[in-house]
Amino acid sequence: MIISTDRPDAPDIPLTAPGGIDRAAHHRFDEAWLAAAWSHPTTRVFVVSGGQALIDDTPDGRTELVMTPAFEAPVTETHRYFLGTDEDGVRYFALQKDALPGRMDQSARPAGLREAGMLLSARDAALMAHAVALENWQRLHRFCSRCGERTVIAAAGHVRRCPACGAEHYPRTDPAVIMLVTDDRDRALLGRQVHWPAGRFSTLAGFVEPGESIEQAVVREVAEEAGVAVGEVRYVASQPWPFPSSLMLGFLARATSPRITVDGEELHEARWFSREELGAAFESGEVLPPTGISIAARLIELWYGKPLPAGFPR
């Protein structure tokens, strides 16, 4: 296996653009500072519930997170997460609630990150991704993995502390590799998972295993899912993927043999496509491309040379 450090020009990937937010992690344990920040009149707050937040369309055609001053925010005792500050000194918090609040004007609508991430500004998308990731972790890790005691929230939502044994638990991030594989004829390998509808194809992906480098994970996953041997591996870019707690690590990889043998468990089908063949398949509707916020579409576009037509989220 050859690992190349030459990084190709990274495409524009949703959820990764600079949002101008300083997470200001040094304030998370400063209860006096957090209390003052919460009560400041410029502080802005939004609610997250079940991976959704309220978004609203503005008269000038933009889409924004519905945020309020802290004094207008719903009451919550503990599930208040400090997300950071912007260059103007505005502090941002998210509140985790069992349900999103109603809106008297009825203009706002609930949206998950897959929809909202394509519509919001870089700042709002970054804030929502941070909040959704914390909410997912908080909901799934309420008890100490060491002694089983119920844990309590600390560090403005970024730590859960066990009052019985003193253990501290931090948000988990599961690294996953996602890769576009090409062969010596510069064809792209795309696969269809067993639970996807007919015609829907995308890049291969899988989780990094313990004791494994991310490059080794690329080689292993491609071999396991499609039976294709991979040589050169080039890193492209990463993308936060809080569904519920992944970090997608994007690669371009070169196959050493075009022979395909799908595993039948994760992949139902895998095929090599030339650019001309893929374009014709898009045109006829034989292939439905990935779109939306996933890095999968961006990786394919790097090879394809132009934007993909409308399709389905990865």
**Cβ-based neighbour number of residue 254 at 10 Å:** 16
Closest among 235, 259, 251 to 184, alpha carbons compared: 259
| Domain covering 174-304, topology | Nucleoside Triphosphate Pyrophosphohydrolase (3.90.79)
- Copy the structure tokens of residue 32: 């006096």
Q: What are the residue ranges in the chain where pLDDT is below 50?
A: 2-3, 5, 314
> Would you say the C-alpha torsion 187, 240, 65, 84 has a positive or negative sign?
negative
Torsion of CA 276, 282, 287, 289, to 10 degrees: 100
pLDDT score at 263: 87
Closest among 182, 181, 143, 149 to 165, alpha carbons compared: 149
**What CATH number is given for 21-169 in this structure?**
3.90.79.20
pLDDT score at 76: 73
**The one-letter amino acid at 59:** P
- Copy the structure tokens of residue 151: 């844990």
Residues contacting residue 155 through CB under 8 Å, at least 6 positions apart: 28, 29
* HSE of 184, CA atoms in CB hemisphere, 13 A: 6
Beta bridge pairs of residue 313: 291
> Would you say the C-alpha torsion 174, 116, 196, 222 has a positive or negative sign?
negative
Residues 297/271, Cβ–Cβ less than 8 Å: no
Domain ranges of the chain: 21-169, 174-304
pTM of the prediction? 0.90
Same fold, 21-169 and 174-304: yes
| Spacing of C-alpha 171 from chain mean position | 14
pLDDT score at 260: 97
pLDDT score at 103: 61
pLDDT score at 2: 47
pLDDT score at 289: 87
